[in-house]
Amino acid sequence: MNHNTKSNYNQEVESNGYAIINDVFSNEETQSFIYEIEQISDSLNKTFRKSKDLFAIRQFLKEVPTINKILFNDALKNILGQLLGNDYFVVKSIYFDKPEQSNWFVSYHQDLTISVDKKLECSGFNNWTIKQNQFSVQPTEKILENIFTIRIHLDDTDEKNGALRIIPKSHANGIVRLDSFDFNEAEEQIAKVKKGGIMIMKPLLFHASNKTINNEKRRVIHVEFSNLDLPEGISWSEKINI
């Protein structure tokens, strides 16, 4: 579903697991994002991942703090206020750059991990990993269902440069084992988003992305929000109040 108006997306996200809103950021704001990222991308450090297929910056809003002022413009704050209310905060941010020649693809999956500050045995928290000096864990389903992801697109994105392939409504079944999901029966859609537009998504929505075939970039800022505190002793590694 693709709307240029900023209404009905609460209902869409609830029902379909996602919504697309174009024209959230002006061309000037989008260019400002790209400029700020280029300023820092040469100073690679432990939260950066760079290969011919993917450039990624984890803890993006911490690594590039100048972005925050542009990111939380009036349009996005208005959307977040309507969608989330006033008590949500950032819990994860990543910048993804899928270059023009990228062969990187991601098969269907749900986003099942959160980033936390330390490893601590906790009921309902499983599959601990450390990625680029950051602890990740699969939390309880309640925590995952509470998260909203906003994907800000810095390029026009369609099926030729790695737009997300999604299965609408697939978030409604909670955590699903891949081998028990019948992808043949599922109705796939392509989440096309214009430059300066956003996609709102629930992490449990099944999504995938293809290789790039049109020699066009696909740059996305991925930000996750929650309003839940984690069990005592563990904190979100990247909590930022809006």
Instruction: Quote the CA–CA distance of 192 and 18 in Å, as a whole number.
Output: 12
Per the listing, tokens 């992808």 go with 183
* DSSP-assigned beta bridge partners for residue 94: 58, 222
Q: Are 230 and 236 in contact (CB under 8 A)?
A: yes
Q: Which pLDDT does position 5 carry in this prediction?
A: 47
Instruction: Quote the CA–CA distance of 172 and 166 in Å, as a whole number.
Output: 13
Residues of the chain with pLDDT under 50: 1-6
Residue 28's H or E segment, with its range, is helix 27-40
Q: Which pLDDT does position 48 carry in this prediction?
A: 67
| 70 CB burial (10 A radius; 0-12, 13-18, 19+) | middle
Q: What pTM, to 2 d.p., does this model score? A: 0.91
Q: Which tokens sit at 134?
A: 């950051």
Cβ–Cβ contacts within 10 Å for residue 39, how many? 11
Secondary structure E strands in 117-206? 126-131, 134-138, 148-153, 164-166, 189-190, 198-201
Instruction: Quote the CA–CA distance of 98 and 102 in Å, as a whole number.
Output: 6
Chain CA centroid to CA 145, Å? 14
Per the listing, tokens 């959230």 go with 24
Output the CA angle 179-184-189, nearest 5 degrees. 110
Q: Which sequence spans correspond to the domains of the chain? A: 2-241
Cβ–Cβ contacts within 10 Å for residue 242, how many? 17
Q: Which pLDDT does position 4 carry in this prediction?
A: 44
Instruction: Quote the CA–CA distance of 170 and 111 in Å, as a whole number.
Output: 12
- CATH for 2-241 is 2.60.120.620
